[in-house]
A and B are shown apart, each in its own frame.
Chain A
Amino acid sequence: MRKRLLVLSAALLATASLAACSNDNGNDGGSASPGSSQPASQGASSSGSSDEVVTLSFWRHDYAPEAAAFKKLIASFEESHPNIKIDFQMIPNDQYETKIRTALAGGNPPDIMALDAPTLASYANQKAIIPLDDYFAKDGNKDDLLKPVVEGLTFDGKMYAAPNNEGTIVMFYNKKMFEEKGIPLPSKNVDEAWTWDQVLDAAKKLNDPAKGVYGWNPTPWGFVGHEGAPYSEMAFLWQAGAEILSPDGKTAKGYLDSAESKKALTFWQNLFNGDKVSPKELPQDAFWNGKVAIHVDGPFAFQYQEQNFPNFKLGEDYDVAPLWKDARMIGTTGSWGMAITSHSEHPDEAWQFVNWVTGVEGSKVWYEETKNLPARQSTFDAFQELKEYPMNIYAEQLAKYGHPRPVTPAYPAISEAIRLLFEDVGLGNADIDDSLAKAVKKIEDGIATLNP
């Protein structure tokens, strides 16, 4: 409670003081855009002629396997760009937004910051980060990026971040449990995903409260306080045929509270309160410990399993299948990218680094190191394993059924509203109409604060 209040107040203060700064930043931004239209000459001259060493600070949330990949890319970058040093700092994940927003409010942000795709619009709207279109046009190979990725990083017609990778989630299931109960295994063809009812049917058979086994865990980490929860919950809304916002992004009224949303939430409520196949409190590592039969997770799960549960094997103990579907087949997409802050005095050098990491070659190194779903077609083409099981399920689902989270400066409000909505209905067994009205109001308020 206290923490939530804090993040909120930090965010509010950040918004307020950013708005205040944006006047003088506006001037900066004004002169920066013509400046950045000629990055080629500037970038070349600064890296060529001067011996001065530029140090760029770069902040990212802490995740060990990805940090290792960054360190490798930074080492190779510094070797080929002796005039640029990267000062890479990792911030504890839970506090990343607090830290970044405080630093932005204090006018003291890093040159380069990592961000999760949907938070981009709120930073862009406050002019905290700069558009990268000119850089992309010069040497960013934008055509190579997958379309939903570009869509997810574009705000107001401009692209504000370069993606490290893309992400989506698929269904995981405990193969041995399925075989024990004689349940036919789900198809590995993304066009033949199981429907909600098929999954629920299997979940009911697999559910075994006496042994502490739950049939179906529909969100990767349970009811957590971070983006992990709404990421998977939004898919239910879209699959039922609902939308969160109007196409122009101005309102949630008439969209989030549609009949389709109600259908999705009724189904959700039943999972936790009616059929009780889903755990209100998810035991730690439930799927890997055999406490959950059907699970949902991202491609990073394979690495996690190999490191922490080496005896629980893909193909023997578990397998993956496309995510479930209802009226529509949809998988939420979006992952982390890198943006350059408007405070940076060296945007050209910053872009050189961003492009080194996220460009055609960098993306290949990134994939090899992290096994995250690539954001570039060229990376997909370069690795045969992406065309094979299990990665092909992610790749094909992404290409055919990917759906980015809404790109709007009000996203922080949306993320929270959706998270609380599913908590109220799932955990609290609350009235669906009331909960929806509350969520719509939260989003409307969030949108209203943007246009005072």
Chain B
Amino acid sequence: MNRAVLLPLRWLALILAAVVSLFPIYWMVMSSFRTHEEIFKYTTLSKELFLPVHWTLDNYREIFLDPSKPFGRYIVNTLIVAIVVTAAGLVVNSMAAFAFAKLKFRFKRGLLAFFLSSLVIPYEVIMIPQYLLMRDFGWINDYRALIIPQIVWVFGIFMLIQFFSDVPRDILDAARMDGASWARIYAVIVLPTAVPAIITLGIMTFLNQWDSFLWPLVVINEEKKQVIQVAISSFQSLRGISWGKIMAATTISSVPILAVFLLLQRYYVQGITMSGVKG
């Protein structure tokens, strides 16, 4: 009896929550097919709020065909940066986490505390010193500035340490006895146990890079080399906002994120629950 009442109620609550969180995305996608004139015209509940009156592809045409702002190129730029940072970051951070979790070396605890303490420093504070460093290396306006400082991610190391410390020490000792090197143990024993964590970290790194805005804005001077989020923000000017273009561009820019997430969603959820169980 109780169940018969509760279940529909539960469904109703879930559907409501889904509508509330999905409607803005739906509105964004629909607005990208509207003319500028129409986007903010319909604000009350009506058919026009849900479907464009005059469907148009002009917004997409404009962002892709404008030679002064090659949107396709921005997508490729961002993909290159995001993929390289993610790949390199996974290797470097997982090795660091392995060392912190399993190896014995001098000053390990102090070093770890030192690493973790950097988590509390807001990015805004280190941005200018980092900029000066990049300038001294001659990396301003260069992808090395976008990629190299981003590879080491202390949060990622911290997260993987949690996973790696689950692997029993005995297995590692056994492998050592059989003559396996630490590198082999890392690659053959420890990494495979942490696949969900690695994938979770990979998704998070990729998202971070895909969404990064401030640092590329500051270090990249040439428009052709710019990344997608900076390009999107350039559709806002002092004297008006090209909402149509922004809607089209954000719609496009959410596609890779959705794709990555949907493909790897299973692992992602698993990774989060596991990191929660392990305190």
Residues from 56 to 114 in A contacting B, C-beta threshold 8 Å: 57, 59, 61-64, 67, 71, 87, 89-95, 98-99, 102-103, 105-108, 110
Question: Which of A63, A99, A105, A304 contacts B217, CB < 8 Å?
Answer: A99
Residues from 97 to 122 in B contacting A, C-beta threshold 8 Å: none
* A259 adjacent to chain B (CB < 8 Å): no
In this complex, what residue of A is CB-closest to B243?
Answer: A284
**B68 x A5 contact (CB < 8 A):** no
* A23 adjacent to chain B (CB < 8 Å): no
Residues from 1 to 50 in A contacting B, C-beta threshold 8 Å: 2, 5-6, 9-10, 13, 17
**CB of B68, distance to nearest CB on chain A (Å):** 7
**A304 x B240 contact (CB < 8 A):** yes
**B125 x A9 contact (CB < 8 A):** yes
**A98 x B223 contact (CB < 8 A):** no
Please name all residues of chain A whose beta carbon is closer than 8 Å to the beta carbon of B40 when the two chains form the complex.
Answer: 283-285, 289
Question: Which of B37, B222, B237 contacts A62, CB < 8 Å?
Answer: B237
Please name all residues of chain B whose beta carbon is closer than 8 Å to the beta carbon of A102 when the two chains form the complex.
Answer: 127-128, 131, 218
The tally of residues in A whose CB lies under 8 Å from a CB in B reads: 48
Using C-beta atoms within 8 Å of the partner chain, give the interface range for chain B.
20 to 34
**B239 x A63 contact (CB < 8 A):** yes
In this complex, what residue of B is CB-closest to A67?
Answer: B68
* B54 adjacent to chain A (CB < 8 Å): no
* A309 adjacent to chain B (CB < 8 Å): yes
Please name all residues of chain B whose beta carbon is closer than 8 Å to the beta carbon of A304 when the two chains form the complex.
Answer: 239-240
In this complex, what residue of A is CB-closest to B135?
Answer: A106
Please name all residues of chain A whose beta carbon is closer than 8 Å to the beta carbon of B240 when the two chains form the complex.
Answer: 304, 308
* A205 adjacent to chain B (CB < 8 Å): no
**B135 x A64 contact (CB < 8 A):** no
* B269 adjacent to chain A (CB < 8 Å): no
**B37 x A309 contact (CB < 8 A):** yes
**B233 x A95 contact (CB < 8 A):** yes
Question: Which of A59, A63, A212 contacts B237, CB < 8 Å?
Answer: A63
Given contacts A13-B128, A107-B135, A289-B40, contact A93 B223 (CB under 8 A): no
* A389 adjacent to chain B (CB < 8 Å): no
**B233 x A92 contact (CB < 8 A):** yes
* A228 adjacent to chain B (CB < 8 Å): yes
**CB of B203, distance to nearest CB on chain A (Å):** 24
In this complex, what residue of A is CB-closest to B218?
Answer: A102
In this complex, what residue of B is CB-closest to A288?
Answer: B37
Given contacts A102-B127, A284-B40, contact A92 B238 (CB under 8 A): no
Please name all residues of chain B whose beta carbon is closer than 8 Å to the beta carbon of A106 when the two chains form the complex.
Answer: 128, 131-132, 135, 140
**A298 x B239 contact (CB < 8 A):** yes
* B230 adjacent to chain A (CB < 8 Å): yes
Q: Mark contacts of B125-156 with chain A using CB atoms, 8 A cut-off: 1 yes-contact digit, 0 otherwise.
A: 10110011001000010000000000000000
Please name all residues of chain A whose beta carbon is closer than 8 Å to the beta carbon of B238 when the two chains form the complex.
Answer: 61, 63, 93, 226-228
A445 to B132, CA, bound (A): 28
A110 to B37, CA, bound (A): 37
* B214 adjacent to chain A (CB < 8 Å): yes
Q: Mark contacts of B217-233 with chain A using CB atoms, 8 A cut-off: 1 yes-contact digit, 0 otherwise.
A: 11001110000001001
Please name all residues of chain A whose beta carbon is closer than 8 Å to the beta carbon of B217 when the two chains form the complex.
Answer: 91-92, 95, 98-99
In this complex, what residue of B is CB-closest to A307?
Answer: B36
B contact patch SS: helix
**CB of A199, distance to nearest CB on chain B (Å):** 23
A106 to B140, CA, bound (A): 10
In this complex, what residue of B is CB-closest to A68?
Answer: B68
* B170 adjacent to chain A (CB < 8 Å): no
**CB of A209, distance to nearest CB on chain B (Å):** 14
A108 to B128, CA, bound (A): 12
**CB of B24, distance to nearest CB on chain A (Å):** 15
**B41 x A94 contact (CB < 8 A):** no
Please name all residues of chain B whose beta carbon is closer than 8 Å to the beta carbon of A289 when the two chains form the complex.
Answer: 40-41
**B37 x A94 contact (CB < 8 A):** no
* A383 adjacent to chain B (CB < 8 Å): no
* B178 adjacent to chain A (CB < 8 Å): no
**B221 x A57 contact (CB < 8 A):** yes
Q: Mark contacts of B39-67 with chain A using CB atoms, 8 A cut-off: 1 yes-contact digit, 0 otherwise.
A: 11101000000000000000000000000
**B135 x A108 contact (CB < 8 A):** yes
A288 to B41, CA, bound (A): 10
**CB of A211, distance to nearest CB on chain B (Å):** 11
Given contacts A57-B221, A106-B135, contact A10 B237 (CB under 8 A): no
A283 to B42, CA, bound (A): 11
In this complex, what residue of B is CB-closest to A64?
Answer: B237
A31 to B176, CA, bound (A): 69
Please name all residues of chain B whose beta carbon is closer than 8 Å to the beta carbon of A10 when the two chains form the complex.
Answer: 124, 127-128
Please name all residues of chain B whose beta carbon is closer than 8 Å to the beta carbon of A301 when the two chains form the complex.
Answer: 239
Please name all residues of chain B whose beta carbon is closer than 8 Å to the beta carbon of A107 when the two chains form the complex.
Answer: 135
Please name all residues of chain A whose beta carbon is closer than 8 Å to the beta carbon of B68 when the two chains form the complex.
Answer: 67, 71
**CB of B168, distance to nearest CB on chain A (Å):** 43
* B234 adjacent to chain A (CB < 8 Å): yes
Please name all residues of chain A whose beta carbon is closer than 8 Å to the beta carbon of B236 when the two chains form the complex.
Answer: 92-94
A64 to B37, CA, bound (A): 18
17 additional A-B residue pairs with CB within 8 Å, beyond A98-B214, A309-B37: A2-B124, A6-B214, A9-B124, A10-B124, A13-B128, A92-B230, A94-B236, A95-B217, A106-B128, A106-B132, A106-B140, A283-B43, A288-B37, A304-B240, A308-B36, A308-B240, A309-B36
**11 residue pairs from A and B, CB less than 8 Å apart:** A6-B214, A87-B222, A92-B234, A98-B214, A98-B218, A102-B131, A106-B140, A107-B135, A285-B36, A309-B37, A311-B37
Q: Chain A interface (Cβ within 8 Å of chain B)?
A: 2, 5-6, 9-10, 13, 17, 57, 59, 61-64, 67, 71, 87, 89-95, 98-99, 102-103, 105-108, 110, 212, 226-228, 283-285, 288-289, 298, 300-301, 304, 308-309, 311
The 9 closest A-B pairs by CB, nearest first: A284-B40, A63-B237, A92-B233, A92-B234, A6-B124, A308-B36, A62-B234, A13-B128, A106-B135
